[in-house]
């Protein structure tokens, strides 16, 4: 396999910053590079597609529209839930983020939008839904994945057990 540039099936190590509306929201600084297996949906599609062909040492600015990032903002993606459905020992408050299981047991991100009396309004939009994402990325490493990583479709960082 050719691992001299970013392409599907290559493990990419990247340093990055993410700005939305001119504000720094995320960065690999202090955490070390992010590793991901290209072509397996490990990172948002717009960023992955923008990095194809980059080589070690290459830097690039990638602008990701909402449709290729965290989706358009959905004004219907709200649900009103009686406060009694939350665990008794949970401090339910506005702005809190939680994972809600749907009928099939799939976890979905939700944020408490508002609380009115006994009604809690959940917002299922990702916090970055509708936002244009401005990434600055630098490729700092490329390698072949292990057989196990390929089989599982993601990178195994030290001692990953699934």
- CA end-to-end span of the chain: 26
Give the rounded percent of residues in the chain with a pLDDT score beyond 70: 97
- Domain 11-70+130-152 is in which class? alpha beta
- On whether the CB atoms of residues 130 and 73 are closer than 8 A, the answer is yes
86-90 contacts, C-beta under 8 A, 24 or more apart:
86/120
pTM: 0.82
For the chain, percent of residues with pLDDT exceeding 90: 83
User: What is the CATH class of 78-123?
Assistant: mainly beta
Average pLDDT over residues 122-131: 95
Q: What is the mean pLDDT of residues 81-94?
A: 91
CB atoms within 10 A of CB 120: 23
Q: How many CB atoms lie within 10 A of CB 86?
A: 15
Domain ranges of the chain: 11-70+130-152, 78-123
């Amino acid at each position: 396999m050719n691992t001299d540039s970013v392409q599907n099936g290559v493990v990419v190590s990247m340093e990055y910053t993410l700005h939305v509306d001119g504000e720094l929201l995320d960065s690999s600084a202090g955490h070390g590079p992010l590793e991901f297996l290209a072509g397996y949906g490990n990172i948002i599609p717009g960023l992955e597609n923008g990095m194809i062909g980059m080589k070690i040492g290459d830097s690039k600015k990638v602008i990701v529209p909402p449709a290729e990032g965290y989706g358009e903002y959905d004004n219907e993606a709200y649900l009103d839930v009686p406060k009694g459905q939350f665990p008794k020992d949970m401090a339910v408050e506005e702005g809190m983020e939680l994972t809600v299981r749907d009928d099939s047991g799939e976890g979905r991100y939700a944020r408490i939008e508002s609380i009115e009396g006994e009604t809690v309004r959940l917002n299922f939009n990702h916090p970055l839904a509708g936002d244009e994402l401005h990434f600055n990325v630098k490729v700092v490493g490329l390698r072949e994945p292990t057989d196990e990583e390929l089989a599982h479709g993601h990178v195994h960082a030290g001692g990953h057990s699934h």
